[in-house]
Chain A
């Protein structure tokens, strides 16, 4: 069980949240010019790193807001939590 610090509500248990997958994936603005491989890359391909992963989470049972998290996928250590629109912190690994 992770203890997650919601940027609005404070520390809550993981079961109040849901993970929305990898963060910082930008939708191509010129999608009409993409070929199938490029479109598939945007829609399906994810990094799945062994190390630091940047994820979107939503506080489903609290304030229902989305935010971003940097989490180490091996230790589950939460390295940073930041609001949508805030700059992505850089971590090694």
Chain B
């Protein structure tokens, strides 16, 4: 784990805090970086009841078994990445989540890795958010297909992302690897131009 004083957002150089406003107003797009969160990748056998039970004990909710869905309890979120792979997101204060998972899983067949520093999360909302995503991603974001509580790995502007819809309005969280975050932010900013962009605090 990285020392706290070395932690720096991968978008720190963009000075987003200084540009951000409280309310998006008339802008069609609201975009912000979500404050740092604990991120863990979890692998194990989704058909093993003992594994599901142990994760449930550690995090309060078992990992989702339906493809491209999310399980959450308050602010701990588990995203489905594959049939035996999940991404756990928890508030920065939950540094204990890694150890809690390891203790609960014990000798069961599993792997847990701390990937907190490897990615960042952007929060995208606004009336034109679907149109914006459609410019760079082939997933179908129509509300009858992609709904709150769903997530999917795909390309956005040729960058690998995991997109999670968190509210119907719509509000999306875009998980992106930190070395692509600057590029993706600039792409989103340029692609937002027709709709009007408000930088907001994530």
Contact = CB atoms under 8 A, between A and B. Distances in A.
7 contacts: A9-B152, A12-B154, A61-B153, A63-B82, A63-B85, A64-B82, A65-B82
Consensus secondary structure, chain B interface: strand
A92 B121 CA distance: 49
Contacts, number: 39
Nearest to B137: A13
A38 interface: no
Interface in A12-52: 12-13, 15-16
B153 A8 contact: no
Given A9-B67, A60-B160, A63-B67, 17 more contacts: A8-B82, A8-B83, A9-B68, A9-B153, A10-B67, A10-B68, A12-B139, A15-B138, A16-B138, A16-B154, A16-B155, A63-B82, A63-B85, A63-B153, A64-B85, A65-B82, A65-B83
Contacts of A9: 67-68, 152-153
Contacts of B67: 8-10, 63
A61 B83 contact: no
A16 B153 CA distance: 9
B54 interface: no
Interface in B104-152: 138-139, 152
Nearest to B154: A61
Consensus secondary structure, chain A interface: loop
Contacts of B39: none
B43 to A, nearest CB: 11
B138 A12 contact: yes
Interface of A: 8-10, 12-13, 15-16, 60-65
Given A9-B67, A9-B68, A12-B138, A61 B155 contact: yes
Interface string B144-183: 0000000011110000100000000000000000000000
Contacts of A62: 82, 152-154
A52 to B, nearest CB: 27
A62 B67 CA distance: 10
Given A8-B83, A13-B138, A15-B155, A61 B68 contact: no
Closest 8 CB pairs of A and B: A63-B82, A13-B138, A62-B153, A8-B67, A61-B160, A61-B154, A61-B155, A61-B153
